Amino acid sequence: MRRRTFLTLGVAGAAALAAAGWFATRRHQPLPVGRALDADATAIVGAIAPAMLDGALPTRAEDRAAALREVVAGVDRAVGGLPDAARHEIGQLFALLALAPARRAFAGVASPWSEASLEEVTAFLDRWQASAWALKRSAYDALHQLVIAAWYGNPRSWPAIGYPGPPRVEGNA
């Protein structure tokens, strides 16, 4: 019950803040907003992906930027394809993380997501992965699964891991 109340408060709080127009200023160009992820969730995924995939993403700036865009788009597609109950829970997680006080207190990330450093986000992932609280570990797992699947499902990731891709079937694209 505690978890539901907490997450519901998070959603309500996020809505109130959004209504007040209290958005974090963004240092970078915002990523395009998808269908399932709103602007806040997009910024969060955009901040988490470079840490989750550190060492796996391309190093060349423009390749990296394109890869990141595709990861965020992949997460958006994945969330959009989940059943209502799962999509709702993911939505609550992003709403909570988007709330500045919750981001600081709950996630331990001082900077707004779009300004958070790689080290800051990596430390957040480390903490949540090893948290004594199962809710944080399950949230970590959700972010892990979404972001990592979005990258390794993308053919752009395959050369670096020695995967030749699936057999091609004549007549298919």
Question: In the bound complex, what is the minimum distance in angstroms from residue 46's beta carbon to another protein?
Answer: 15
Q: Does 53 bind another protein (CB under 8 A)?
A: yes
Q: Does 167 bind another protein (CB under 8 A)?
A: yes
173 C-beta neighbours (distance < 10 Å), count: 4
- CB closer to another protein out of 39 and 82: 82
Q: Identify the residue among 6, 38, 112, 129 touching another protein (CB under 8 A).
A: 129
Q: Does 54 bind another protein (CB under 8 A)?
A: yes
Q: d(Cα 151, Cα 172) in Å, to the nearest integer?
A: 22
Q: Where does 21-83 have alpha helices with state H? A: 39-52, 61-80
Q: d(Cα 48, Cα 121) in Å, to the nearest integer?
A: 6
Q: Does 4 bind another protein (CB under 8 A)?
A: no
- Specify the amino acid at residue 154: N
Q: Identify the residue among 115, 117, 138, 156 touching another protein (CB under 8 A).
A: 138
Distance spanning both ends of the chain, measured CA to CA: 49
Q: Identify the residue among 78, 95, 96, 116 touching another protein (CB under 8 A).
A: 78
36 C-beta neighbours (distance < 10 Å), count: 19
Q: d(Cα 120, Cα 112) in Å, to the nearest integer?
A: 11
The residues that touch another protein, with contacts defined as CB under 8 A, are: 51-56, 74, 77-78, 80-87, 122, 125, 129-130, 134, 137-138, 141-142, 144-145, 148-149, 151-154, 157-158, 160-172
